[in-house]
Structure 1
Amino acid sequence: MKRVALWLIAVVGEGNEFTKADLRDAFPGVSQVDRRMRDLRDFEWQIDTNRDDPELDSHQQRFVKAGIPVWEPGRSARPKGTTAIGANRRREIIAADGYMCRSCGIAPGGEYGDTGEAAQLDIARRPVRRPDGTKRVELVTECNRCRIGGRGLEADLSRVLAAAASLSPIERRVLAGWITADEREFSRVERLWGDYRSLPETSRTELRAEMGLD
């Protein structure tokens, strides 16, 4: 892993692309060198694939930025609370999350309405702020699009618990129904509001004018 990190910095360079073949050619005879590189993500290194950046081909990757200098003494211990995610664990997480992106609700293979692109599900590490003020990293299912837009997001469980505690009995029953079903059916007006918010300013102006708001 240390050698791969140094190769990325010295040979590839931040912001540049490389292929799996380039990586394997640089480390001939090294087994699971791909996995050693993926391990760097646990040390805040950002290495994008086509799951993260649609502009990349399936064989391409991009070294976006370096993280913790793992080659320095004492810096290569895996950060507390992080473990490698194996295939079995990945399947367990996706199943527990209802086989859908927990950010937008899309299922694997579902098409994004604006592009027709098929969604792929993967596992993201999400910092969660606890009621006692501490943070812990939890694993969550996200689609390829939400993983890109969700970098740097932090969940705040203490805020959610406080908000839930302040609900009226009727609101609590409604929320309990959504939680039990793990689904909420949005009204037509709510869906239209989401569509409006996604429009560029010129189009938003046209809609406001159509509704007599300008």
Structure 2
Amino acid sequence: MVIADIPSWRNERLATMVRCALWLVAEVGVGEVFTKTQLREAFPETSQIDRRMRDLRDRGWRIATNRDDATLSPSEHRFVEMGAEVWKPGQSRVKQAAAVSAPQRREILDRDDHLCRVCGITAGEPYEGGIETAQLDLARREVVKPGGVVVELVTECRRCRIGGRGRQTDVTGVLGHVGQMSRMERELFTQWVAADRRDFSLLERLWGQYRSLPAESRETVRQALERA
């Protein structure tokens, strides 16, 4: 993606967040990987450059970490998608979402059985293969319905909420897939719907653990499977 006539990211008269956005566009490029070291070397005079980069996420920029993309190392980021053109007047402001009241928050958490609607984890439960525990919060999700797109509040854990920014769900699409299921698939899916949760099998949990391994360790697993 090439954007013409953008300011130089080296212009120190611009706000640091704006310069960071311009650096991502000009020096990294959408879809490419960069390291924390490269970012800090580009802005050696700014001690909070990591925070300025994170501020871009509130303006629609998608910057993945190894929590979002298992192929990344802890020191790497991927520039996934550009958001608002923050170097233009008025584009750097965050659009404030309507505040959620305490009663509304409790109602949504109760409705969702205090479970993350993406992975099914509960508050305080440790994630598979680690000591980090889940924290539940509310997230706004765009839902495509026959009458148009609506925004709904759902319960999600912090890990899924960060990784799922910008996610859009399609009710019509889900119904279409249901209609294409085999009888066995429909019976299994019906059980999940009735329980309003899905328990992952050992094989699925093992796949998640495998995907979180670094490249060298994944190769070791592949070799072990070939020998078996």
What TM-score comes out, normalization by structure 2 length?
0.57
The CA deviation string for residues 125-150 of structure 1, in whole angstroms up to 9 with x for no partner, is 01112245x21111111111111111
- Report if aligned partners of 2:129, 2:209 keep a CA contact under 8 Å in 1: no
Deviations 1:95-137 (A, max 9, x none): 11121111111111111234412211110001112245x2111
* Mapped partners of 1:112, 1:172: distance in 2: 29
1:130 aligns with 2:127: no
List runs of 5+ in structure 2 lacking aligned partners.
Answer: 1-14, 21-47, 50-57, 61-83
Query: 1:176 is matched with which residue?
Result: 190
1:99 maps to 2:109 = no
Does the aligned pair in 2 maintain the 1:93–1:140 contact within 8 Å?
yes
- Percent identical pairs in the alignment equals 43
Match of 2:201 in 1: 187
Cα offset, 1:185, TM superposition: 2.6
Q: CA deviation at 1:177?
A: 1.1
Q: Given the alignment of the two structures, is residue 145 of structure 1 paired with residue 159 of structure 2, yes or no?
A: yes
Alpha-carbon shift at residue 69 of structure 1 (Å): 4.1
**Whole-angstrom CA distance in 2 between matches of 1:163 and 1:171:** 11
Structure 1 residues 191, 118: closer, same or farther in 2, change over 3 A?
Answer: closer
Unaligned runs of 5+ in 1: 1-11, 18-43, 47-64
**Of 112, 123, 126, the match for 1:111:** 126
Q: After superposition, where does 1:55-74 map in structure 2 within 5 Å?
A: 69=90
Q: Take 2:119 and 2:205, find their aligned partners in 1: how far apart are those partners? A: 13
In structure 1, what is the Cα distance between the partners aligned to 2:134 and 2:205?
20
Q: 1:156 to 1:93 in 2, by over 3 A?
A: same
Equivalent of 2:178 in 164, 178, 185 = 164
Q: TM-score, normalised by structure 1?
A: 0.60
RMSD: 3.5
Q: Deviations over 1:12-41 (max 9, x none)?
A: 963859xxxxxxxxxxxxxxxxxxxxxxxx
User: 1:111·1:119 contact (CA, 8 Å) conserved in 2?
Assistant: yes
Count of residues in correspondence between the two structures? 155
Cα drift, residue 153 of structure 1: 1.3
